Amino acid sequence: MFPAGRYGRRRAVRRRRPWLVGLLALALVATLGLISVRLYEQYGDPEYRAKVITYTDITDRQVVVDFEVTVPAGGAAVCVLRARSRDGATVGQEEVRVAAAPGQRHSRVRHLMITTGRPLVGEVLRCRPAD
């Protein structure tokens, strides 16, 4: 060892805190789990997909959106439609319930959306299982 007083005072050995590392790891896992749930809720189930076919009949107060929804066979979905103006502002948003015929996975829908201004585009944001 070192002679006493010759090299100054030695630092004390730091205690490790394994419980702190475990607590931080648990917090990280919980945070990632919450983020995953939020993303799943936001972007939906891959079984429920929508594709805009066209949007027509645009006036100062409406747009007609034709879209196709894929659901589990014979299932139903609730889809969120949105209309946006030239500057990107939302001028209309609605939820539309869509049901497929028994044994079918696809359903084509034509929906008239009333808007608060002249829309430039009609789109389907997401679809989720119907309650």
Give the model confidence (pLDDT) of 4-38 as tens digits. Answer: 666 666 666 677 778 888 888 999 999 998 888 87
Tell me whether residue 117 is in a domain: yes
Tell me whether residue 97 is in a domain: yes
Tell me whether residue 70 is in a domain: yes
Tell me whether residue 24 is in a domain: no
Domain with 99 in it: what CATH number? 2.60.40
Tell me whether residue 40 is in a domain: no
Cα→Cα distances 35→10, 39, 40, Å? 46, 6, 9
Tokens of 117: 């201004």
Q: Across 21-120, where does the E strand assignment appear? A: 49-56, 62-70, 76-84, 90-99, 106-114
What does the alpha-carbon distance between residue 74 and residue 70 come to, in Å, rounded to a whole number?
10
> According to DSSP H, which parts of 1-131 are helical?
18-43
CA dihedral 71, 44, 90, 107 (to 10 degrees): 0
Convert the pLDDT of each residue in 42-73 to its tens digit. 666 667 889 999 999 999 999 999 999 999 88
